[in-house]
Amino acid sequence: MKTIEKIRYWMKQNEVDAVYISCTDPHQSESVAEHWKTVQWLTGFTGSMGYAIVTTKEAAFWSDGRYLEQSQREIDSEIFQIENFSKQDSPSWDQWLAKRMPQNGTFAFDGNVTSVETLRSFKQKLKSKNLRMHSDISGLLNIWCERPPLPGDGLYRLEDVFNCEDAATKLFRVRRTLSESADFCLVCGLDDVIWLTNVRGNDNPLYPFFHAYLLLSQKEAFLCADIQKIPDSLQDTLRSEGFTLLPYEEIKHLIKDIPEGSSIRIDPYKTEVRLFNAIPLNVNVVEAADLVTEIKVCKTEREQSNIRQANILECVAVVRLMMWIESESSHRKLNEYEIGQKLNEFRRKSSPLYLQPANRPIVGTAGNAAIPHYRPSQSTSSIVNPDTFLLFDVCAQYRCGSTDLTRCMALGKLTVQMCEDYTDVLRTHIALASLKFPAGTTGNLLDAVAKSTLWNEGKNFHHGIGHGIGYVSNIHEGLGKLCIEYAPAFPYAFKTPLKPGMVFSNEPGIYRSGQYGIRIENTVIVQEAEKTEFGQFFKFETVTFLPFENRAIIKERLTQRELDWIKQYYAKTRENLNPFLSDDERVWLTKRTDFFLI
């Protein structure tokens, strides 16, 4: 019996009319351990964002603009109707379901991984149907016979120079802010847990996370995790810093025991239904953005210094990759998959501070590059076409920071349209990198300002120009995001003004379906600019230094201001990377950054 048939059999047995299958974990993580990849198990989709709804007769899948073509490639359209948020003619999940759901029917979902806010959206959008909500689908998940177990690797701590601040000091900062809003604070986000404890783990293939919760008050700091994974010496250190260590599932009992009359602060977008329902009725719930996220999103001066170092280390490895690509492609055919694997070799050789990849390498040639999050596998990798763009988007975890960058290389002839598109993407990149903006500006406004460079040419791309980046943590970090479209993973983005210390990507692109894709990405840090009679202004500091594809730049399309920006950027690129390069590598870099100095 096929999986979809087994699900419908379970639905019939439990009188369920529709079931919602997601791809998240109890902590609402963007990237999750294999154990939580439920929608991937059901559909065959390999992307990180998507969900499916199965009714007694039909099924549909939704993802965002990054996965428009990928979902169509990977999912069986005879079983699932494939939809996408970025397509104007696509129905939303509730519009689709409303036409198929009976009045007073039963809607099932997994309360262990569904957030409070998601459940509210279910109820609101399907209000007219007067549905019964069924939050226990454990029986359905038993169909997944070969479900991977939760990871069991041990935890570790970064050295003090990379933690930048001891856990006791961080805890003091959090409590000082907590005192203004509530008695208790529930911390569910894994990125928040690792930042506050200075502990890292291996529960995630991309991010140094471990599964845990924190319940904080002015007197207690309960860390609920798999204690067997914590070395004895680290347990002693955590206890000395003020943490009480308890088993992972103990968090539910701690919440049930919160004294009556107390108050607890939660983030409804990060707290799953199971824990929310455990809060006693006589405890006041204060809903707000996660307290730890609010504090950690503005990186300290020491964290910023380390992030600069991590980006230089990554750029050195990528320079070596680019040289290798040019050399190898001159005498043999390369495939997409091997390029991503080769980069890991250069990372390991370039620095002992390298920890792990922070994404499955996005490496695409020709039409594959037009899929923003296309990731080749060993079995499906395409041969690199020299007469178009080779795009690679790579992220890494170093002990001193997380990195995210994208470059396009041209190994053969390019068309006039390709060069025009590349130049316009570069101009859009420069527009954001060189922009000054007043304090209080939110990311959606900056996205629109920068994208107007492309819009004026009648061009566009269907993702934000930038996302927040964590510190030895997740690559996509809230609260802010540079995006005009609402992004479910960044619910506070439209209300979050950019502040000094926030780290973002700057990654405009153009994607011509079936032909080629272009994206240029650097990491930037928000810094203070001048203060005038009109108020305080901020600016972006670029910390990624790599050559652009000069052969694709039409100099005549650039303004003098844009030309000057590139000249200054290339000078900084040589200044930052040359100390780490060999003589041959410095010669190569000089040639690639001398285009505008001739």
Rounded distance between C-alpha atoms, residue 18 and residue 429, angstroms: 44
User: Which tokens belong to 302?
Assistant: 């020491």
CATH number of 156-295: 3.40.350.10
Residue in 191, 206, 186, 203 with CA at minimum distance from that of residue 48? 206
The one-letter amino acid at 63: S
Burial class (CB in 10 A: 0-12, 13-18, 19+), 587: exposed
Residue in 495, 474, 522, 534 with CA at minimum distance from that of residue 193? 474
3-141 CATH fold: Creatine Amidinohydrolase; Chain A, domain 1 (3.40.350)
pLDDT block averages, 10 residues each, the chain of length 598: 89 96 92 92 88 94 80 88 80 90 95 95 92 93 93 93 94 95 97 97 93 97 97 97 97 97 97 96 96 97 98 98 96 95 96 95 95 86 94 98 98 96 98 98 98 98 96 96 90 96 98 96 98 98 98 95 96 98 97 74
Looking at residue 115, the DSSP 8-state letter turns out to be B
Q: What was the pLDDT predicted at 90?
A: 84
Q: What was the pLDDT predicted at 430?
A: 98
Rounded distance between C-alpha atoms, residue 18 and residue 107, angstroms: 5
* Under 8 Å between Cβ of 67 and 47: yes
Q: Is the peptide bond before 215 cis (omega within 30 degrees of 0)?
A: no
Rounded distance between C-alpha atoms, residue 375 and residue 222, angstroms: 39
Residue in 597, 592, 562 with CA at minimum distance from that of residue 315? 592
Q: What was the pLDDT predicted at 2?
A: 86
Residue in 269, 77, 112, 114 with CA at minimum distance from that of residue 189? 269
CATH topology match: 3-141 vs 301-590 = no
SS3 label, residue 349: helix
Q: What was the pLDDT predicted at 1?
A: 58
Cα pseudo-dihedral 282, 286, 292, 293, rounded to 10:
140
How many residues make up the chain in this entry?
Answer: 598
Q: What was the pLDDT predicted at 598?
A: 41
User: Which tokens belong to 221?
Assistant: 């700091």
pTM for the whole structure: 0.92
User: Which tokens belong to 134?
Assistant: 């069924």
Residue in 261, 266, 254, 259 with CA at minimum distance from that of residue 28? 266
Alpha helices in 481-526 (DSSP H): none
Q: What was the pLDDT predicted at 596?
A: 60
The residues spanned by each domain of the chain are 3-141, 156-295, 301-590
* Under 8 Å between Cβ of 152 and 121: no
Residue in 202, 401, 172, 203 with CA at minimum distance from that of residue 292? 172
Rounded distance between C-alpha atoms, residue 495 and residue 161, angstroms: 33
301-590 CATH fold: Creatine Amidinohydrolase (3.90.230)
Residue in 480, 581, 523 with CA at minimum distance from that of residue 304? 523
Rounded distance between C-alpha atoms, residue 8 and residue 11, angstroms: 5
SS3 label, residue 63: strand
Can you say how many angstroms the Cα of residue 502 is from the centroid of all Cα atoms in its chain? 15
